[in-house]
Amino acid sequence: MPMLPLISLVNPAWTPNPWAAVVLSVLILAFAPSEVIYRKHGNIKSAEDRHSSWIILTSTFVNVGAFIFFCSRGIGTIPWHAQWVSLCGLLICAVGVGMRYWAIITLGRFFTSAVMVQSDQSVIAHGPFRFIRHPGYAGALLFGVGGALACANWAAMLFFVLCHGAAFRYRVTLEEAVMLTHFGSTYAAYQACTWRFLPFVY
């Protein structure tokens, strides 16, 4: 048990069970390459982006800081059934990682950090895109929510949902407007039969 802090990115004191910190650390390491791919493929100077890439990047750093702040000070700790809350959080986090990479594999080089439409791009409606229009963003949201719940911290979760949720809402509103401009009725028809983030919810 004393070695856990040495192999965990997350302070074991922040989680109800020290091993949850190790599992969460593994999930963070699994998620991290998706951000590298996301940034590598993007052109942050795209005229259609309207600073959405910088807004999401800034939101990411703000959320990491808020997560550390709330968890290190025990602000917002969930006192009831914390072990089960943490386990559910880890499962949600893992689903988020899986969703993120499913979206990356499906989109390939079209998975970019900036809002842009490439000359040979088309409306993707298979894989996770068959049900939701933004599975990559949904995966990131699930990852953040799950990470906060893994630490059984409602304050970190609420802050993440409000902050990153607002950033992603701006992003997808802009992105869908660009897609409608480029693909017209084809994308409108796709919008009509899918959800933005969560099936049957939103």
Residue 146 CA: distances (Å) to CA of 86, 142, 150, 152, 181: 8, 6, 6, 9, 35
Q: Comparing C-alpha atoms, which of 104, 150, 158, 155 is closest to residue 129?
A: 104
pLDDT less than 50: residues of the chain: 1-6
| 164 alpha-carbon distance from chain centroid | 8
pLDDT at 36: 73
Question: For residues 190 and 133, is the Cβ–Cβ distance under 8 A?
Answer: yes
How far is Cα 132 from Cα 52, in angstroms, rounded to an integer? 20
Domains, the chain, with CATH or none: 12-42+49-112+122-192 (1.20.120.1630)
Kindly tell me the sign of the dihedral angle through the C-alpha atoms of 24, 44, 163, 67.
positive
Backbone angles phi, psi at 200, to 5 degrees: 70, 5
Give 18-51 pLDDT, tens digit per residue.
Answer: 999 999 999 999 998 887 766 655 555 566 777 7
Amino acid at 177: A
pLDDT at 41: 54
pLDDT at 9: 86
Q: Going by C-beta distance under 8 Å and a sequence separation of 6 or more, which residues neighbour residue 90?
A: 20, 23, 24, 27, 146, 150
pLDDT at 1: 45
pLDDT at 93: 97
